[in-house]
């Protein structure tokens, strides 16, 4: 199959077109680079070699894409894999046009087979997506009226861009495929228009049986020019279209910060007196990775599909945040690229109400197919609102005051921190200096009446299993999780430094001891964020210790008799820290086959509504409270008991259960185990 080759005139014209396309494309990509460069932070150049393989697998395998919309994801995969393979196809087509050379032998046959199959798969998938958006008008791409959007969204910019991109893919791959069918019709005319390595192109080639060889040659030339000409025409437009996500997503996977957990926030050096801007107010205040996010965004709205704030009618849409950033950049790219100051993000990207509606659950990060992290944009904006503008929900002031003065957000006396254990003979680190594990009780089990029952149950379980443990007593402080996630980084810093000083005395040294806590938020702060200030600890959750003790035979609870049990995965236990199996192992013995899962569970769990400091403020206006939405999902399973493993979740779902008054009990896993001993 070597008859096809460009004429000398065609070769010159194509070369000139390539030069023009590369020149104008370079200008566009240069602006993109300068825009991203405006962001904060250092480029992780030294990390690239060891990240490269993992990022390539994640990009080529579309690994995060499969977490939602499986059927749609398969269609998207067809297009993405064709896009990747077409780098080779287009290069070889150009080579063939100039030299007439084709890949010979079996290798060439396999190459043609892959190209043939992927071409048809991509054409089917692209047709599906165009019908889905423009004919069936799937609601997945819609936004509620209360969500802040750039004017271009309502003017149809996203739909227009999607149409341009869709038609480009359809015609580029379509004409390349047609060109192959013309080639098959000419080369295999005597064999009945069949190339065994190109079954689909061969099937279509039968349509051209009546065409002469010169006509087929012209048709193939036209197809070649349209297929590759569209590439050259599209390259200058590429930096301004959402199609750039196919490249930027790979960079996202390669260059994103290496965190200890999904939700680890970047620290601020509070001892650096030269810092003038705390948090994010404008686009250029964002880490450069989060400007890259706007280019990587596929505008698929999957993050919106899982956002508890959006799904309960609040103004927050993490998708709209990224879309607004991108449209603003496109509209002001020359100013931004040249170093000009941008408008405040609150003016165009997101509303103030939406900033404070985020529960910091991390669902948007987990589900994003291209590695975007809109949650961090929001939490860094909270830092600016709190530390620079003094503009934050007034209810948080009481929690801040309590954390600062009394070491707990309830603002109750420090001397009462151990009141819950008055009759339990709980050993402190002074009483039992040779303890094996330090129990970090936390503020809620110390001061909240409902959570105190969890603490008392955990003490019972630890004693029953013969665990050598101790608590810090009045030396324990709030970890500052709510302060950090509401933007008060200065308060978090002070609490963290004080706690680290205490912890280093008792669990540090040459033989560090483990810390256990019933609160996933304490677990996350202590284990995944305190290392930023020199506190490196092994922290486990109470359910992990329960599962461990059961496996060792030190705990042998009996089955509970009361109906089915379902489990609500706390966001900071499951999604943020990957602890999913331990609570289920603990519940398996108790439920005795009566355990039932909610539709959204494990790392895909739905938030209780208390995270991101929502516990200490009024919820933003919406259709319903987040905790009610989660309770209704749990109740729909038919379970009589909702098991939780977080004091915040315990409070939120207990409140929702009382409101519903359906007789459903909400208990911590620790309480259930204690009852079953």
Cβ neighbours for 216, distance < 8 A, ≥ 6 positions apart: 182, 183, 185, 186, 208
Q: Which of 323, 356, 387 is the last residue of a domain?
A: 387
Listing DSSP states for 60-103 in one string gives HTTGGGGGS-HHHHHHHHHHHHHHHHHHHHHHHHHHHHHH----
| 97-133 b/e (C-beta count within 10 Å ≥ 16 → b) | beeeebbeeeeeeebbbbbbbbbbbbbebbebbbeeb
| Whether residue 383 sits in one domain with residue 419 | no
Is residue 269 in a domain?
no
> Quick one: DSSP state of residue 534?
T
- Kindly state the average pLDDT of the residues 361-388: 98
Residue 430 Cα distances to 226, 446, 456, 457, angstroms: 80, 19, 20, 22
| Whether residue 340 sits in one domain with residue 194 | no
Q: Which of 212, 236, 253 is the last residue of a domain?
A: 253
- Kindly state the average pLDDT of the residues 350-354: 98
Report d(CA 248, CA 266) in Å as an integer.
Answer: 22
Residue 486 Cα distances to 307, 356, 394, 483, angstroms: 18, 8, 12, 5
Average pLDDT across the chain, whole number: 95
**pTM, 2 dp:** 0.94
Residue 605 Cα distances to 261, 521, 601, angstroms: 17, 16, 4
Judge whether residue 337 has pLDDT over 90.
yes
Is residue 537 in a domain?
yes
| Whether residue 511 sits in one domain with residue 461 | yes
Closest residue by Cα to residue 523 from 570, 566, 491: 570
What is the tens place of the pLDDT at every residue in 453-495?
Answer: 999 999 999 999 999 999 999 999 999 999 999 999 999 999 9
| Whether residue 658 sits in one domain with residue 541 | yes
Residue keyed to tokens 């109740």: 635
| Whether residue 235 sits in one domain with residue 349 | no
Cβ neighbours for 359, distance < 8 A, ≥ 6 positions apart: 308, 309, 571, 607, 609, 610, 611, 612, 614, 626
Judge whether residue 511 has pLDDT over 80.
no
Share of the chain above pLDDT 70, in %: 99
Contacts 24+ apart (CB under 8 A), 158-167: 158/242, 158/299, 158/323, 159/133, 159/134, 161/241, 161/242, 162/133, 162/242, 162/299, 163/130, 163/134, 164/237, 164/241, 165/241, 165/242, 165/243, 166/126, 166/129, 166/130, 166/133, 167/130
| Whether residue 369 sits in one domain with residue 332 | yes
Q: What is the pLDDT of residue 589?
A: 84
Task: For 14, list phi and psi in degrees, rounded to 5.
Answer: -65, -40
Report d(CA 238, CA 253) in Å as an integer.
Answer: 20
| Sign of the torsion angle spanned by Cα atoms 160, 163, 166, 171 | negative
Report d(CA 245, CA 292) in Å as an integer.
Answer: 10
CA dihedral 343, 327, 365, 526 (to 10 degrees): -10
Q: What is the pLDDT of residue 592?
A: 83
Q: What share of the chain is helix, strand, coil (3-state, %, to 5)?
A: 60, 5, 35
Is residue 276 in a domain?
no
For the ranges 208-212, 232-236, 372-376, 597-601, the lowest mean pLDDT is seen at 208-212
Q: How many CB atoms lie within 10 A of CB 654?
A: 20
Judge whether residue 2 has pLDDT over 60.
no
Judge whether residue 305 has pLDDT over 90.
yes
Domain interval for residue 90: 8-137+149-253
Residue 468 Cα distances to 426, 430, 538, 597, 658, angstroms: 11, 13, 17, 34, 37
Vertex 297 angle, CA 356 and 42, to 5°: 80
Judge whether residue 224 has pLDDT over 90.
yes
What is the tens place of the pLDDT at every residue in 526-545?
Answer: 999 999 999 999 999 999 99
Size of the chain, expressed as the number of residues it contains: 677
Is residue 144 in a domain?
no
Is residue 615 in a domain?
yes
Cβ–Cβ under 8 Å, residues 575 and 363: yes
Judge whether residue 561 has pLDDT over 80.
no
Is residue 191 in a domain?
yes
CA dihedral 443, 444, 445, 449 (to 10 degrees): 130
pLDDT range class, residue 187, cuts 50, 70, 90: confident
| Whether residue 340 sits in one domain with residue 480 | no
| Whether residue 74 sits in one domain with residue 111 | yes
| Whether residue 291 sits in one domain with residue 205 | no
Both structure tokens of 70? 């499986």
Q: What is the pLDDT of residue 4?
A: 87
CA dihedral 561, 562, 563, 566 (to 10 degrees): -100
Q: How many CB atoms lie within 10 A of CB 156?
A: 11
pLDDT range class, residue 103, cuts 50, 70, 90: very high
Report d(CA 220, CA 488) in Å as an integer.
Answer: 65
- Kindly state the average pLDDT of the residues 290-314: 97
- Kindly state the average pLDDT of the residues 168-180: 97
What distance separates the 2 farthest-apart alpha carbons in the chain? 99
Helix (H, G, I), strand (E, B) or coil at 475: helix
Is residue 274 in a domain?
no
Q: What is the pLDDT of residue 190?
A: 59
| Whether residue 401 sits in one domain with residue 439 | yes
CATH number at residue 310: 1.10.1060
Closest residue by Cα to residue 476 from 428, 528, 530: 428
Q: What is the pLDDT of residue 186?
A: 85
Contacts 24+ apart (CB under 8 A), 407-411: 407/443, 407/476, 407/477, 407/478, 407/495, 408/443, 408/446, 408/447, 408/477, 408/478, 409/443, 409/478, 409/482, 409/615, 409/616, 410/443, 410/447, 410/448
Residue 187 Cα distances to 54, 184, 200, 257, angstroms: 42, 5, 15, 53
* Packing angle, helices 213-234 and 70-99, rounded to 10: 120
Q: Which of 210, 237, 253 is the last residue of a domain?
A: 253
| Whether residue 235 sits in one domain with residue 361 | no
Both structure tokens of 165? 């991109």
Is residue 271 in a domain?
no
Report the number of distinct structural domains present in the chain: 3
| Whether residue 511 sits in one domain with residue 538 | yes
Strand arrangement of the beta sheet that strand 469-471 belongs to: 469-471, 437-440, 514-517, 539-541
Q: What is the pLDDT of residue 191?
A: 62
Q: What is the pLDDT of residue 462?
A: 98
CA atoms within 13 A on the CB side of 163: 8
């Amino acid at each position: 199959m070597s008859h096809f080759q460009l004429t000398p005139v065609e070769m010159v014209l194509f070369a000139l077109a390539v030069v023009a396309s590369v020149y104008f494309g370079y200008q566009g990509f240069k602006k993109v680079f300068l825009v991203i460069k405006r962001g904060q932070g250092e480029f992780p150049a030294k990390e690239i070699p060891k990240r490269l393989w993992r990022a390539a697998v994640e990009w080529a395998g579309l690994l995060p894409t499969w977490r939602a919309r499986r059927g749609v994801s398969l269609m998207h995969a067809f297009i993405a894999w064709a896009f990747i393979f077409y780098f080779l196809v287009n290069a070889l087509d150009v080579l063939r046009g100039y030299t007439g050379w084709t890949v010979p032998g079996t290798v060439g046959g396999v190459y043609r087979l892959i190209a043939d199959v992927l071409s048809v798969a991509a054409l089917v998938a692209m047709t599906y997506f165009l019908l889905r958006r423009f004919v069936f008008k799937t609601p997945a791409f819609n936004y509620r009226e209360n969500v802040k959007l750039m004017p271009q969204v309502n003017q149809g910019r996203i739909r227009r861009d999607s149409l341009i991109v869709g038609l480009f893919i359809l015609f580029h791959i379509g004409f390349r495929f047609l060109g192959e069918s013309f080639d098959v019709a000419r080369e295999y005319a005597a064999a009945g228009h069949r190339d065994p390595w190109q079954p689909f192109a061969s099937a279509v080639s039968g349509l051209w049986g009546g065409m002469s060889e010169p006509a087929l040659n012209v048709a193939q030339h036209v197809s070649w020019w349209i297929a590759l000409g569209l590439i050259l025409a599209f390259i200058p437009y590429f930096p301004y279209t959402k199609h750039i996500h196919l490249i930027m997503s790979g960079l996202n996977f390669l260059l994103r910060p290496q965190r200890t957990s999904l939700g680890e926030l970047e620290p601020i050096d509070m001892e650096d007196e030269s810092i003038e801007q705390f948090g994010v107010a404008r686009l250029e205040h964002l880490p450069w990775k989060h400007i890259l996010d706007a280019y990587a965004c596929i505008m698929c709205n999957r993050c919106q599909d899982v956002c508890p704030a959006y799904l309960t009618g609040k103004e927050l849409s993490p998708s709209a945040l990224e879309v607004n950033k991108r449209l603003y950049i496109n509209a002001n790219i020359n100013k931004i690229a040249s170093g000009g100051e941008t408008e405040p993000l609150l003016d165009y990207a997101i509303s103030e109400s939406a900033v404070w509606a985020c529960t910091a659950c991390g669902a948007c990060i987990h589900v994003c197919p291209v590695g975007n992290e809109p949650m961090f944009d929001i939490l860094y904006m909270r830092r600016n609102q709190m530390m620079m503008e003094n503009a934050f929900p007034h209810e948080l002031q009481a929690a801040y005051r309590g954390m600062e003065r009394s070491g707990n957000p309830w603002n109750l006396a420090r001397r009462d921190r151990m009141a819950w254990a008055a009759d339990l003979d709980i050993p402190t680190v002074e009483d039992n200096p040779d303890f094996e594990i330090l129990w970090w009780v936390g503020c809620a089990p110390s001061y909240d009446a409902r959570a105190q029952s969890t603490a008392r149950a955990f003490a019972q379980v630890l004693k029953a299993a013969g665990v050598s443990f101790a608590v810090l007593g009045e030396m324990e402080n709030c970890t500052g999780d709510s302060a950090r996630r509401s933007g008060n980084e200065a308060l978090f810093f002070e609490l963290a430094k004080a706690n680290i000083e205490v912890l280093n005395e008792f669990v540090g040294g040459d033989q560090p001891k483990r810390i256990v806590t019933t609160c996933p938020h304490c677990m996350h702060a202590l284990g995944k964020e305190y290392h930023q200030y020199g506190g490196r600890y092994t922290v486990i959750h109470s359910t992990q210790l329960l599962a461990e003790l059961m496996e060792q035979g030190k705990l042998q609870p009996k089955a509970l008799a009361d109906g089915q049990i379902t489990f609500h995965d706390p966001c900071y236990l499951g999604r943020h820290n990957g602890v999913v199996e331990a609570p289920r192992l603990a519940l398996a013995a108790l439920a005795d086959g009566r355990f039932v899962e909610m539709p959204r569970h494990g790392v895909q769990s739905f938030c209780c509504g208390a995270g991101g400091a929502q516990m200490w403020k009024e919820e933003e206006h919406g259709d319903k409270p987040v905790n009610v939405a989660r309770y209704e999902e749990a109740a729909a399973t038919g379970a009589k008991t909702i098991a939780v493993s977080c004091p915040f979740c315990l409070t939120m779902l207990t409140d929702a259960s009382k409101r519903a008054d359906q007789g459903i009990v909400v208990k911590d896993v620790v309480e259930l185990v204690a009852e079953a001993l």
